[in-house]
A and B are shown apart, each in its own frame.
Chain A
Amino acid sequence: MINICHMKKNFGELEVLRDINVHIHPGEVVCIIGPSGSGKSTFLRCINQLEKPSGGEILYKGENILDKSYDIRKFREEVGMVFQRFNLFPLLTVRENVCLAPVLTGHKSKAEAVTIAEELLKKVGLSEKADVYPATLSGGQQQRVAIARALAMEPQALLFDEPTSALDPELVGDVLEVMKELAKEGMTMVVVTHEMSFAHEVADRVIFMADGYIVESGTPDQVLEHPGEERTRTFLARFLTTDKTEKYAGLAR
């Protein structure tokens, strides 16, 4: 569905991504893990070109979306994104946040968008919050609104950039619950995350990145429980000793 071939990204001299190859299939949930500075977020942001990749190609529906002639808005309308810091529009109500893009891009009439917003807010458990402003919501609620906002464009796939990293621990569960629900419905998802138990439970594939390379890729069982590479083992061991879920800690060490 989205084929990323030999993608590179430099910031000046600094090589953040070196030769990334990932094929994302329809309905697949891909979790990307790795140490900070490994290029995970840059990789995700290069897919919808919030960062312009320095090289390589990304094929979507048979077109290279990195071509100069390709209008990236077309891709962005079909592949949504959820950010670490929610990035809701603070002067719009929750409902207006969800309705803005479908109306402006001409996908929906105002009335249709409002109907869809009601449905989506119900889905993420925030029906009563439609008329409030984002600042009055908790982080977890804001992130669920952000997910509803992305879903309002009826995307083919969603990119999640550490969606629970800015949340208080007790709020993480509600957001992950919504994401699990989406996965169950067959949404194609690429998730940069530190939530190993989520990756283990939901992902079809886990990719471990370090230093701008894909070090290891496979089923959650392969990568998280039987990592083949030394780097993966070191990361998981160091990561999991600080993680409350000690389920995999013993295995990783």
Chain B
Amino acid sequence: MDAEFYQTIIPMLLSGIRITFFIAVTGILIGIVIGSLCGYILQTEIKPLKAVAEVYIWIIRATPLMVQALYVYFVIPKWLGVDLPANTVGIIVIALNSGAFMSEIVKGALQSVDPGQKEAAASLGLNGAQILFHVVIPPAFKIAMPGLFNQFIISVKDTALLSVITVNEVTHQAQNYAALSFQTIPTYTVLALFYLVVISVLIVLQKWVEKRFCC
């Protein structure tokens, strides 16, 4: 490996890494909001909202992420008559995708909280919001944690698929470089190592959170 390789690939990968992180973090954070709201709605009896959430989750779960990316990048801007930058589309797709899967995790976690605890809280005169935030969410959070971290990991890796809509995230950058330089072995090895390290950090974080909050 010569110096020129490093001088070219390192800045390319670094800029790719920045975009990967930006899209993954922003997308997942929005996904958490979507997932929490939809997950909550799914276990209530508010029929119209529930129907909307169910259709959304169905569409996302029944189509591949790559198709979702292509659709939001090429089709939806045509309908709306606006141009959406690739990175914005990337965030939207990761958010919608992770949100749908997190909805199911959140729903399951909320439903698994012993109804007796809700009744006990109600019998003490607490209102709905107090019961939700002080009695239901803490144990539900504990139950949801492993599933949510799994989804974070999947979503970080899913950002690689956004290369199809020209998002210059790290995989796309690596592909570009490999195509120009024919240095496929070192390039893709560095790329794989990058994901290994990032996901390992997430796994360590998960272990820490589980230890810290889950007795």
Contact = CB atoms under 8 A, between A and B. Distances in A.
Given A104-B130, A104-B134, A133-B215, A87 B120 contact: yes
Interface in A60-111: 73-74, 76-77, 80-81, 83, 85, 87-91, 100-101, 104-105
Given A91-B139, A133-B215, A80 B124 contact: yes
B116 A85 contact: yes
Contacts of B215: 91, 133
Contacts, number: 62
Nearest to A105: B125
Given A85-B116, A90-B139, A76 B123 contact: yes
A217 interface: no
B135 interface: yes
B138 A91 contact: yes
| Residue among B122, B124, B142 with the highest chain A CB neighbour number at 10 A | B124
Given A100-B134, A104-B130, A104-B134, A89 B124 contact: no
Interface residues of A, number: 24
A40 interface: no
Contacts of A91: 138-139, 142, 215
A141 interface: no
A71 B106 CA distance: 30
A88 B129 CA distance: 18
A76 B119 contact: no
Contacts of A77: 124-125
Contact of B120 (A74, A83, A104): A83
A50 interface: yes
A150 interface: yes
Contact of B123 (A48, A85, A100, A105): A48
A153 interface: yes
A88 B123 CA distance: 12
B120 A88 contact: yes
Interface of A: 48, 50, 73-74, 76-77, 80-81, 83, 85, 87-91, 100-101, 104-105, 133, 146, 149-150, 153
